[in-house]
Amino acid sequence: MRRPPPRTLRGQLTAGLVTLLALACLGVGITTALALRGFLMGRLDDQLSASGGRFAASLEHEAKPDADNRADTRGQAESTLGARLLNGKVTQAAVVDDATDRHLHLTAGDRRILAAVPADGHGRSIRLSMFGAYRVTAVHGDDQDILITGLPLHPVEETVHRLEAVEAALFGAALVVTGIAGAVWVRVSLRPLQRVAARAAEVAGLPLASGEIAMPGPLPDTDPRTEIGQVGTALNHMLGHVEDALTRRQASEERLRHFAADASHELRTPVANIRGHAESALRHPGTVPGEVHHALERIDAESQRMTRLVDDLLLLARLDAGRPLEHEPVDLTLLILDATDDARAAGPGHHWVLDLPEEPVTVTGDAHRLQQAIGNLLANARTHTPPGTEVTITLLTTGPADVSLSVSDNGPGIPEELQSEVFGRFVRADHARSRSTGSTGLGLAIVHAVITAHDGTVALASRPGRTTFRLTLPT
């Protein structure tokens, strides 16, 4: 399996540094090896030129019976090759062996290779089947023949290979040392960037969407002359703007909460007075015209709806302000039974199903607020599903210190684009629908606020034919 390339900036910089050094070492190694080979080849060519074909020319005397006419090996290095060609054919060939000549028995291929060497006095490299690589030069003799002298290339190749082995060892050690030192150097150099990333991750983990947030302080030692310092400076400016925006938002939300609380508190008295006068007028014993009676009934109904709206707003304002709730044992099973009885009375066309454990389930909290949250969930299921819908209320213990309450129905479901904001305030599935049901659009917002105040969670899962609201509460 192919190993993936490094993804971190530290790994990429270290890998790039080692790669560049490896390329430089490879270039130096190839250049020095070629230069050494060229130098040694030049020395061989100089030796071949200095010999002038003397050894090859002396080979013709060995054909004479005179013992004094032996091949001239004086000054010839061991393994020197000599050959004489006449009319394109090799007539004699020998190699110097221990300062004497030794005749060679060449193959047909070796003879063709030697015959193909041009007689121009320039050195050329050939390879003979029995003797390996040779550097040879060919010159014209005095008897219309061609004299070939050659020196073995084995010493040159051995020297070049030794140099390559030494360079490979040295360059390999240099790469290892450079890789380790480079990794340490890159790590130290990127420490300011790591601090920037850590600060950004710290800010990303803050609950910026709600509440008063304590932003972390600015990054120290941000040198604008460096790229990392510029990033740190930009992050400090951004954190400053975010903190200012959050402070302004928090102040605005606080003003809105105070306004909602004050307005709700101030509206309770006039709304109660309007409702009281309407009820008093409806109980008047005298004859009241039908239109007036209908108007009074509408005033009474709207004042009741406004009373519920004011109470809901005041409750949310108190929960937002962190007003403490009661903490006492609450029989959650009993609250569900009472809320289901109320839901059956208000929605007789629905099928209400209970799935409760045999033993009562008790939690610690505010009984009145929990009953309001459960009632709102059941009212939401009754209001937004058609008659005949089955609504199932399930209570079970999910852990040693948690209980789960779910309200499920097989109604049409909640649109997907609305699910993310269903617990918001004044959120309605149909903005154009009539408000004759008396809904304030705050029911689910109150459920979320009450359960959150009890350190619990609220979750929604909805699709056509199945909608489930799940509450989790600590015991």
Average pLDDT over residues 67-77: 59
Confidence at residue 74, expressed as pLDDT on a 0 to 100 scale: 63
Confidence at residue 229, expressed as pLDDT on a 0 to 100 scale: 75
Q: Cβ distance 453 to 319 under 8 Å?
A: yes
Helix (H) or strand (E) holding 364: strand 362-365
Query: For 385, phi and psi rounded to 5 degrees?
Result: -130, 150
Interval 144-190: pLDDT, tens: 888 888 899 988 999 999 999 999 999 999 999 988 988 888 888 77
CA 366 to chain centre: 45
pLDDT bracket for residue 264 (50, 70, 90): low
Q: Is the pLDDT of residue 226 over 80?
A: no
Interval 331-356: pLDDT, tens: 999 999 999 998 999 889 999 999 99
| Structure tokens given for 226 | 């460096």
Query: For 276, phi and psi rounded to 5 degrees?
Result: -65, -45
Per domain, the residue ranges of the chain are 12-159, 190-323, 328-474
Q: Is the pTM here over 0.85, yes or no?
A: no
Helix (H) or strand (E) holding 418: helix 416-419
Interval 81-115: pLDDT, tens: 888 888 888 888 888 876 555 667 788 888 898 88
CATH superfamily to which 328-474 belongs: Histidine kinase-like ATPase, C-terminal domain (3.30.565.10)
Distance CA 115, CA 87 (A): 10
Q: Is the pLDDT of residue 24 over 60?
A: yes
Q: Is the pLDDT of residue 473 over 80?
A: yes
Confidence at residue 261, expressed as pLDDT on a 0 to 100 scale: 65
Q: Cβ distance 52 to 76 under 8 Å?
A: no
pLDDT greater at residue 309 or residue 464:
464
Interval 194-220: pLDDT, tens: 777 777 777 777 776 666 666 777 777
Confidence at residue 351, expressed as pLDDT on a 0 to 100 scale: 93
Sign of the Cα pseudo-torsion (205, 209, 211, 217, in order): positive
Lowest mean pLDDT among 183-192, 255-264, 298-307, 320-329: 255-264
Report the top-level CATH class of 12-159: alpha beta
pLDDT greater at residue 209 or residue 471:
471
Average pLDDT over residues 132-148: 87
Lowest mean pLDDT among 4-8, 86-90, 156-160, 316-320: 4-8
Distance CA 278, CA 284 (A): 10
Look up residue 62 and give its DSSP letter: G
Average predicted confidence (pLDDT) for the chain:
80
328-474 and 12-159 share a CATH fold: no
Distance CA 239, CA 203 (A): 8
Confidence at residue 439, expressed as pLDDT on a 0 to 100 scale: 58
Confidence at residue 108, expressed as pLDDT on a 0 to 100 scale: 87
